[in-house]
A and B are shown apart, each in its own frame.
Chain A
Amino acid sequence: MRGAVQTIRPMTVLLAMIPTGMPVLGAESPSPRAGETIAQYEERLLDEALAVAHVETAEIISSKTTATSPPEGFAGRVNDALADFLPFFQGAINGISTSDDDKSITLRFNPLRWKSGETAFGATLTEPQVFQPVLDAVVAPAREEQRQLLLDQVDDWGDLTVTGTYGYLRRAETWESPQLHILWGRDYAVYRPLVDSLLVSALESMPPEVDAMRQAAERAFVAAKVKTSRAAKGTSCDRTSFDELVLACLESILSSEDYQALLQGLARKAEARTALYSTVRDWNLAGGLPDLIDNQPQLTAKLSYVNRDAFVGPDSYALSISYELGFRNFNSVIRQYRWLKRNAKDSPAATAFQAFRDVMSEGDALGENKLVFGMTYNRVRAYALSYAYVETVTDPGTGTQTQFPRSADVDLPTSSELTGRVQWGRFLGRSKAGEPVPRLDVAAEYLNVSDDSERLDRFVVRATYTHPISTTVSFPITVSYANHGDLPGEQDRVLGAHVGLSYKFNRQDEGSDR
């Protein structure tokens, strides 16, 4: 049978010659390929239905105007060394990450969870660099040589930052819980029970017409498949190739009407599947829910200690407190749900899913309107180093080398700084048909420096308007004002402007839809 299939493959051109009493497929539906089985053709139609349904979502995501953010850091060499001892701490380690620039590596430990929050611990190893004031104290001709010699004396652990972060959490287990008011924190686990039941209420809200369409398509497909089975000649109908079906038509084993009905059934099934994909896409659960959780109010306190080798710099510690809030968040869904419950009473429309849809349909839902407050106190310990080295000088006339004993001395007092920061940003307008929209970001920072003669107290405010030209190109325009320069002697009241060009590289989705 298989050999016969191969010999008649050229006959697949006859597919087009079968008399048509009705349209075989929609104008955009592909035709069966030579040698393709019913099951393979069905898979291909469904793949294409999926691709069509998701192209709009992908366009919306790719067209978003993004703000520039600094990369994290990590070192591959240290990564390999850490991998050797990681198995001993497997139960305690939550993750390990390295940065694109290969300069640092971060180890995260499993957080300790409390009823009102969780505490996470981490350690970051940064590639050691010689402390700049030490290098500056070395005479210029010997600087590069001494930098290498000093680095040789520093091991990979010469710049270690240990951090502990506490995040406040407030949770509720059910939508009917008395604790369901304002929830705090962005740990997905906090929202899981609520998201679980919201998802179920979403699936229970599937439009009946979508189900009816799927069921009707399935009935039409199965009915046509049963009639086609007489051409299957003993093999499973799904494994019958279209070549065999055409041959069956030519041999009058299968009528052209039944053949057409099979194609029609397959096309209807793909259309019904497209309707399902479109419905799920319109719900935007998979994109919207994580966004809403990511906008939840978050209060964190972070304590960090930096331990440095003598040649790398002074030890320091920092305490920072931050509060972040996205104005459209999961709490908006909770508020809307409570409002629905109050006003719709026992109406079946008062569901968590309906509350989610109401929130997502509001104009501001996609604005990513966010506010951040942050305050950091950083204290750098006193630093004293006297480094003896030898400078080798070559006489250009005779070529004779002479060595001079020298000393690089650095003595810095303890210093501290207090930084306050406010940031706000949002998209201006709503994207229509995947078009990018402008974005405005404003940040103000106040720096109070103590015991550091090299730096000044400083207030800086910066506003960036990012105007998209296309989905990949945008113009960021930044205006900034500072009441002082960063260093003593620099000009006061500095007003600056910067215009740039930003290009976003689009990554094609190469993965399979299946």
Chain B
Amino acid sequence: MKCRGTWVLEEGERFEIQVTEVADVVSYSGRLLVTDWEGLDTSPPPKAYTREQLERGVKTSMESGMTYNFDVVVIPKKGKEAIVHTILRFDSETALDEDCSRTADKPLCEWEITRT
């Protein structure tokens, strides 16, 4: 069960995040916050993704000097622990392929991809 993680990628490398439902999930949604920490701030505006988009997978290409924070809010069924499955793929490998269990008081999954 992993619900948070950080990875360091090379410039130009592509990554894909895919989130699917496993059990006791009402819904979930994701949000990508990009931080440009190199030179002038050219951070793009944050973007929210629907459950369907997350099920299909969200693909992004790593830019120099950027950190990508992908937060997923999971709504569990009343009184249950919701389980979602996250797959994080890079160009060359699958970095993450695990379930994450979330409750009403801990609904966030947090994934950070950066380049240093």
Binding site for B on A (CB under 8 A): 39, 42-43, 46, 50, 54, 57-58, 61, 188, 191-192, 195-197, 199-200, 202-204, 206, 211, 214-215, 218-219, 222-223, 225-226, 229, 236-238, 273, 276-277, 280-281, 285-287, 289-291, 293-294, 511-514
Contact = CB atoms under 8 A, between A and B. Distances in A.
A281 B1 CA distance: 22
A287 B105 contact: yes
Given A39-B6, A196-B27, A196-B51, A206 B73 contact: no
A295 to B, nearest CB: 10
A199 B2 CA distance: 22
B43 interface: yes
In terms of DSSP, what is the predominant structure of the interface of chain A?
A: helix
B59 to A, nearest CB: 19
A285 B101 contact: no
Nearest to B107: A286
B56 interface: no
B108 interface: yes
A222 B68 CA distance: 13
In terms of DSSP, what is the predominant structure of the interface of chain B?
A: strand
B26 A206 contact: no
A199 B67 contact: no
Give the most central of A236, A276, A290: most B CB within 10 Å.
Answer: A290
Interface string B52-90: 100000000000000101010111111100000000000
16 contacts: A43-B4, A46-B4, A54-B106, A196-B50, A199-B75, A200-B29, A200-B49, A200-B50, A202-B73, A206-B46, A226-B116, A237-B116, A238-B6, A280-B73, A290-B77, A513-B3
A291 B116 contact: no
Interface of B: 1-4, 6, 8, 26-31, 33, 35, 37, 41, 43, 46, 48-52, 67, 69, 71, 73-79, 101-108, 110, 114, 116
Contacts of A291: 78
A294 B104 CA distance: 14
Contact of A286 (B3, B6, B105, B114): B105
A281 B105 contact: yes
B26 A192 contact: yes
A57 B30 CA distance: 22
Contacts of B28: 199
Given A192-B27, A219-B35, A511 B101 contact: yes
Contacts of B73: 199, 202-203, 280, 285-286
Contact of A293 (B6, B26, B116): B26
